[in-house]
């Protein structure tokens, strides 16, 4: 299976998935720490992929998502964005309803 196909399968299998550096419990960059904090604040369960442990995914994901940096949050297979976008959407009240709808 090609890496891009693997990513597409992960997006199908997980309604909410965060591609990040490290894990939610042990993020390995400040932006990933911010993204994990936003997800914890939302109270919604999510899947994650540590791109530092998956270099092929780290290399291929920006081409699949057309989003150049990490972390990357996807809801229902659609790219939402990185930690700054996630924080802004949480603050505006936009993010949690999207997450809850996807997690049902």
| CATH assignment of the domain containing 49 | 3.40.30.10
Dist CA 101 CA 29 (whole Å): 29
Residue 64, pLDDT score: 95
Torsion (CA) 81, 84, 87, 91 in degrees, nearest 10: -110
pLDDT (tens place) for every residue of the chain, 104 residues total: 899 999 999 999 999 999 999 999 999 999 999 999 999 999 999 999 999 999 999 999 999 999 999 999 999 999 999 999 999 999 999 999 999 999 87
- Please indicate if the annotation marks 29 as binding a ligand: yes
Of the CA atoms within 13 Å of residue 15, those in its CB half-sphere come to 9
Residue 104, pLDDT score: 75
Q: Residue 99 is encoded by which pair of tokens?
A: 């997450």
**Domain that includes residue 15, residue range:** 3-103
Residue 24, pLDDT score: 98
């Amino acid at each position: 299976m090609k890496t891009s196909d693997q990513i597409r399968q992960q997006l199908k299998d997980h309604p909410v998935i965060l591609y990040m550096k490290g894990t939610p419990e042990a993020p390995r960059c400040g932006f990933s720490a911010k993204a994990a904090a936003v997800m914890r604040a939302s109270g919604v369960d999510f899947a994650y992929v540590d791109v530092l442990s998956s270099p092929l995914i780290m290399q291929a994901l920006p081409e699949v998502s057309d989003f150049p940096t990490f972390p990357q949050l996807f809801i229902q297979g659609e790219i939402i964005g990185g930690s700054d976008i996630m924080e802004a959407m949480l603050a505006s009240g936009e993010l949690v309803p999207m997450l809850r709808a996807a997690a049902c």
